[in-house]
Copies of this chain bind each other. A is one copy, B any other.
Amino acid sequence: MSAPGRAVLALSGGVGGAKLALGLAQECAAGQLHVVANTGDDFRHLGLYISPDIDTLLYTLSGRANQSLGWGLAAETWHTMEALQELGGDTWFRLGDRDLATHLWRSQQLAMGRELGEVTADLARRLGVQTRVFPMSDDPIATTVHTPEGLLPFQHYFVRYQCQPVVTGFSFAGIESARPNAELMAVLGGGAYAAIVVCPSNPFVSVDPILQVPGLWQALRDQPAPVILVSPIVAGRALKGPAAKMMTELGHGASALEVARFYHQRYPGLVDYFVIDSSDATLAPAIGELDMDVAITCTVMHSAADKRALARFCLALGEG
């Protein structure tokens, strides 16, 4: 347990980041973990507002995540999708029967004029999640994947085409005019966080959209708390998802060193500690030249104990 009185902030995308967020939630005092979630993946589908990363976080933190599937809800069934397929409807984005309740409820709340941040806090409460989960912004932001064949909305790239198109870049529609979530900014304004942990999420499509929300990364950089970033690339491979494939296609090469370079160039002075896996220890000297301290531990999270151990390691860095 870290000191009960001080809160910790995590930045997270979906499945990969949520693993560490769960470890952090278990290692922090009740309610003392806050998470800012990427909402660039959010989209409207079948008339529903779907917020994949927020849902993954809430399902994981409430113990409802589907362990065998790796996404969605435990004990899920697919009868709506089966019936929709019979009707010839859109079924490429698989919405489970139980998961649908979340989308129906959230869409109804948003249609009533409530803000995404307020609706997310309410949803967390209803799911019994004590961690505060903030969307990076209550305003709509749409991650767009650039490919040689044109632009793809993120979920089309990620789910419909299963990350197969070659990536040439990314943009985040709406981000220039988006405001960071006001509650998060209020806590940041108080400078109360003991540590800021960037979970091992995709640099391009999970963490970058969060940091691109106007004013957000500067506010994080200017916190008294150290920023601890866990590399999502271990031994040249992504812990989860298409990060390594994207890095290769963008000409970076896939390595923890290239991840560190990405953040160093784009967000100078943001990262205080760059956490790499023991298998990447040889990269430490080169990363150390990028104005960040390198910390080495086992970052691959298979078990619940792994998640808590990595969380403890990050929190210990935060305590200096």
Contacts and interface: CB of A to CB of B under 8 A. Distances in A.
A82 B107 contact: no
Identical copies in the complex: 2
Interface in A93-115: 96-102, 104-105, 107-108, 111
Contacts of A76: 79
Given A47-B47, A48-B47, A97-B97, A105 B77 contact: no
Interface residues of A, number: 32
A88 interface: yes
Interface of A: 46-48, 73, 76-77, 79-84, 86-90, 96-102, 104-105, 107-108, 111, 123, 126-127
A235 B84 CA distance: 42
A98 B79 contact: yes
A55 to B, nearest CB: 12
Contacts of A101: 80-84, 86-87, 89
User: Which residue of A48, A80, A88, A127 has the most chain B CB atoms within 10 A of its CB atom?
Assistant: A80
A178 B28 CA distance: 61
Contacts of A73: 83
B46 A108 contact: yes
Nearest to A77: B79
A178 to B, nearest CB: 24
A132 B21 CA distance: 55
Contacts of A87: 101-102, 105, 123, 126-127
A80 B87 CA distance: 19
27 contacts: A46-B108, A47-B48, A47-B108, A47-B111, A48-B104, A73-B83, A77-B77, A77-B79, A77-B97, A79-B96, A79-B98, A80-B97, A80-B100, A80-B104, A81-B101, A82-B101, A83-B97, A83-B98, A84-B101, A86-B101, A87-B101, A87-B102, A89-B105, A89-B108, A90-B108, A97-B100, A100-B100
Nearest to A82: B98
A86 B82 CA distance: 23
A120 B135 CA distance: 39
A104 B84 contact: yes
B126 A47 contact: no
A101 B111 CA distance: 20
User: Which residue of A46, A86, A104 has the most chain B CB atoms within 10 A of its CB atom?
Assistant: A104
Contacts of A123: 87
Contacts of A105: 84, 87, 89
Contact of A79 (B79, B82, B83, B84): B79
Contacts of A47: 47-48, 104, 107-108, 111
B104 A46 contact: yes
Contact of A97 (B79, B88, B102): B79
A105 B123 CA distance: 26
A102 B84 CA distance: 7
A84 B102 CA distance: 7
